[in-house]
Structures are given as C-alpha cells and as structure tokens.
Amino acid sequence: RWTTKMAGGNSNYWEDLRKQARQLENELDLKLVSFSKLCTSYSSSRDGRRGDSSDTTPLLNNSTQDRMFETMSVEIEQLLAKLTGVNDKMAEYTSTPGVTSLNAALMHTLQRHRDILQDYTHEFHKTKSNFLAVREREDLLGSVRKDIETYKSGSGVNNRRTELFLKEHEHLRNSDRLIEDTISIAMATKENMTSQRGMLKSIQSRVNTLANRFPAINSLIQRINLRKRRDSLILGGVIGICTIILLLYAFH
C-alpha cells in the first residue's frame, strides 16, 4: 500500500517517515534515561533496605522494581522494533526509481537514523545486562546474608558456648604444649647428665687402668702422700711447742 503511494509521487511520505522516526527516537531517549535511573538506583535501594528488619517491605520493594524493569524492557523493545520498521521503510523508499535524484541526501538521513537506532539498541542491551548482573549479585549476597543472620539469631547461645569451649580448648592446647616443652627440656638434661656420668666413669677407669699398669707410680704416690702427712705432723708439733713456750714465757 505504501509502495503504491510512493509510486504515485506522494511527497509527504518521506517526511511522515522522518517524523515517525524522530518521535520514536525521542520516546526511546526518555525511556532509556528512566531505565538507566532505575538500574542505577536498584543497588543503592537494596543497600538501604538491608538494615530493615521487616520481612514484608523489602519483598514489596524488590517486586515493584522487578516489575518496573520488566515493563520498561518490553516497552523499549517494542519502540526499538517500531523504529527498526520505520528505518526499513525509509530504506525501501530510497531504493525506488522515482527518488534517485535525492538519493544521496536521503541515504545520509537514513544512515543517521540507523546510527541512532544502533546506539539506542546498544545502550539498552548494556543497561539491561548491568541491571541483571547487579540483581543476580544482590540476590546472592542477600541469600548469604539471610543465612548468616538466621544462623546468628537461631543459635546465639550455642555460639557463645561454642566460643567458650573453643577458648578453653585453646588454653588446654597451650598447657599441653608447655608441658611437652618442659618434658623435652628434662629429657635433654637427663641425657646430658648421663653422658657426663659416662665420661667420668671412663676417666676413672682409665686412671685405675694406668695405676694398675704402673704399680711403682702408685707406690711412689702413696709415699709422697705419707711424707706430706708426716711433714705436716712435724710442722704442727713444732708450731705447738713454740706456742706453749711463748705462753709460758709471757706469763712468767
């Protein structure tokens, strides 16, 4: 139907397509801005609700944002599809024989609209991917956080007892370690004393062996000891006699 209009020389057909394209581009621009704001605020709103102890409010907020995300995604996809259809019609219009004289200008305009469509499509898919990644990460962190809070709230007393048991167990382990160190030191001291005792016995046995091998030396040593004892006795007697004589002389 629209090909028949072009063949009939409808000069307003191209302008109508351009108006539709610009209108769709404006709508897409506004939708993408709102969509980007929704995706940006999603993570921060989840962070703001983490401290809320209520079980109903976060679920309602999450559900609302998810519904808004799905609704806006469908609307943007529909607008992109419409804009793609308009660009296809514009491309088909430029290929008709009746507009060959304006083909260069029309192709330039068509290329500009195609670039805009490509940019919007790329921005939409990028924002959507980022939103899905953030939501998946937040859901995972929320699940882990919920499990941790459930564990803490459900077993607080048990955790306290467990901590006390762990501390006591650590004290016992430290005591065992100190006892083992003390026993090791005692064993090392015992081994050292045993080694020294063996060395002294070895020296004594060697001395006895030498004395038995050389009886003359043993006899000489005994004589020397007797003479020293005799000299000591003589010296002690002389000193005693002299002392008595001095005392007698002093008192007379």
Q: 87 and 110 in contact (C-beta within 8 Å)?
A: yes
* Nearest CA among 42, 52, 71 for reference residue 138: 42
Position 23 pLDDT exceeds 90: yes
SS3 96: coil
Residue 128 CB partners (closer than 8 Å, separation 6+): 35, 39, 73
CA 149/CA 154 separation, integer angstroms: 8
Separation CA 147–CA 153 (nearest Å): 10
pTM higher than 0.75:
no
Q: Length of the chain, please? A: 252
pLDDT > 70? residue 191:
yes
Report the 10 Å Cβ neighbour count for 191: 10
Name the more confident of 230 and 96: 230
Q: In the structure, what pLDDT confidence band is assigned to residue 107 with cuts at 50, 70 and 90?
A: confident
Backbone torsion region of residue 54, taken as left when φ is above 0, otherwise alpha when ψ lies between -120 and 50, otherwise beta = beta
pLDDT tens-digit profile of 194-238? 888 888 888 878 767 766 666 666 677 788 888 888 888 998 888
Average pLDDT, the chain: 77
